[in-house]
Amino acid sequence: MDKTFWHAKWQRNEIGFHEPQPNALLIRHFPALHLSRGARVFVPLCGKSLDIHWLLAQGYQVVGCELSPLAVRQLFAELGLTPHVSTCGRVTRYMTGELCVFAGDIFDLTPDMMGRVDGVYDRAALIALPPALRDAYAAHLPALTRSAPQLLVCLDYDQSCRAGPPFSVDAAEVRQYYAALFNPVCLATVPVPGGLKGICPAREVVWHLIPIR
């Protein structure tokens, strides 16, 4: 799996991972971050998620990153927004009002490009990455966001049943990736109705990653 895999998914509109409504776990648990209206929330590997619509509607500023420019253009179109588009290093920045999305490789982003980040919402980033990239991502994300608190949603299932993505990331891995900088607190564990694509039982696990100051 590489960048070509994800570009092809969007080109063929094979986006079963795109939920048709804002994520219920986001709505239920985002208040745990205790962010005020106007806070700036980073959504990594955001696609054209309706979660962004919800965050904007709650009065937050949103900054996202998405590999596929097609997904980014669709996001702004579905929001009815016309962004200002500019080159920013090796990525392209789409920006308007309270929304800024970088199209390109998240590893090409820097803290200076990102600006202020008050919280992170990761529902589909960590679990989209194979093991070879997860360590690098888990180190890069706190560096990008200056260790802002996170709401992290993971899948936990028997990885031998399915190759992924999405990948299984259990509690031990979450602590392995983040415990040096955060106190990982499990907020909820919710069975996935029908299991993972009907193949095997699966659970969504919601984590609050509290920065260690």
pLDDT at 6 over 80: no
Residue-wise pLDDT for 30-65, tens only, equals: 999 999 999 999 999 999 999 999 999 999 999 999
**Residue 75 marked ligand-binding:** no
Cβ-proximal residues to 130 (8 Å cutoff; 6+ apart), any chain: 1, 164, 165, 167
* pLDDT computed for residue 212 by the predictor: 96
Domains of the chain, CATH where assigned: 3-10+21-211 (3.40.50.150)
pLDDT at 7 over 70: no
**Residue 116 marked ligand-binding:** no
**Residue 45 marked ligand-binding:** yes
What is the DSSP code string of 18-77? Answer: S-SS--HHHHHHGGGG-PPTT-EEEEET-TT-HHHHHHHHTT-EEEEEES-HHHHHHHHH
What tokens were used for 30?
């985002």
What tokens were used for 131?
């093991």
Q: For residues 87 and 11, which has the higher predicted lDDT (pLDDT)?
A: 87
**3-state DSSP assignment of residue 98:** coil
Residue-wise pLDDT for 92-117, tens only, equals: 999 999 999 999 999 999 999 999 99
**Residue 10 marked ligand-binding:** yes
* pLDDT computed for residue 118 by the predictor: 98
* pLDDT computed for residue 4 by the predictor: 77
Residue-wise pLDDT for 160-213, tens only, equals: 999 889 999 999 999 999 999 999 999 999 999 999 888 999 999 999 999 998
